[in-house]
Amino acid sequence: DIPVTQSPSTLSASVGDRVTITCRASESISTWLAWYQQKPGTAPKLLIYKASTLESGVPSRFSGGGSGTEFILTISNLQPDDFATYYCQQYKSSYTFGQGTKLEIK
Amino acid sequence: QVHLQQWGAGLLKPSETLSLTCAVYGGSFSDYSWNWIRQSPEKGLEWIAEIDHRGATSYNPSLKSRFTVSVDTSKNQFSLRARSVTAADTATYFCARARRQFGGIVAMSLTYYHYMDVWSKGTTVTVSS
């Protein structure tokens, strides 16, 4: 298992803001990292894979970066639909998820 | 467009067996691997197991050997069973497709990594006496 840790746990922001979520792996995972968005009562939705590749159909205001042990998810120009919980997941060795970052409206 | 639909008992008593099945509609069954993940407030998202169309499996070692996954390629379905459930198994269970990425050649072997790109809506399983 390779634990991954997200920060912050909660993030308050306004429509139009730019926010960043961080994910740290306990050891190097190269770029084998994905980001998901989850809204209450629904399944996680894939946003980004291989640390920075945007999944088809995902708005370009979402971007990812990083390699090794430190990764970021950036959401620019926040829209009302973006307020949700975000998870990172490493897939270099089995699969482990971060504990989630809840993005709330300020 | 691929769609995953799952079903199974939602209320179990302690020591009973959990049984869930996930059917895959649309897309290729053999080009992907197939996973079970659960989510609870206590443990968050937790990967349980993976299987491919040939029946090759891998499991989360922290969940011991209570879980078993199987595949039925004639129906494009895969299933999860867990024996001797306890209250700690109460969670929402998802099935998910994993897409393969080439990871290079490691020790003269082709290496692939998988990430989950399509998920089912999930089934809530409650274990209570």
| Per-residue pLDDT reduced to its tens digit, A75-92 | 999 999 999 999 999 999
Best mutation target among A52, A56, A67, A95 (most B Cβ atoms within 10 Å) is A95
Residue A1 predicted with pLDDT over 90: no
pLDDT digits 0-9 by tens, B39-67: 999 999 999 999 999 999 999 988 868 99
Please answer whether residues A88 and A35 qualify as being in contact, where contact means their C-beta atoms are separated by less than 8 angstroms: yes
Between CA A18 and CA A24, with CA A19 as vertex, the angle to 5 degrees is 150
**Statement: residue B111 has pLDDT above 90:** no
What is residue A45's predicted lDDT score, i.e. its pLDDT?
Answer: 98
In this structure, is the dihedral angle defined by the CA atoms of residues B96, B102, B104 and B105, taken in order, positive or negative?
positive
Collect all residues from A whose CB is shorter than 8 A from any CB in B.
Answer: 1, 32, 34, 42-46, 49-50, 55, 87, 89, 91-92, 94-97, 99-100
Please tell me which residue of chain B has the smallest CA distance to A2: B60
Mean pLDDT of chain B: 95
Tell me what pLDDT residue B63 has: 86
Contacts of residue A34 in chain B, CB cutoff 8 Å?
115-116
pLDDT tens string B79-109: 999 999 999 999 999 999 999 988 888 888 9
From the list A1, A43, A99, which residue is nearest B122 (CB)? Answer: A43
B5-42 confidence digits (pLDDT tens): 999 999 999 999 999 999 999 989 999 999 999 999 99
Segment A61-78, tens digit of pLDDT: 999 999 999 999 999 999
What SS3 state is found at B100?
strand
Mean pLDDT of A33-39: 98
Residues of B in contact with A43 (CB under 8 A): 94, 96, 119-122
> Is B51 an 8 Å CB contact of chain A?
no
What Cα–Cα distance (Å) separates residue A7 from each residue in A22, A23, B56, B115? 5, 7, 35, 22
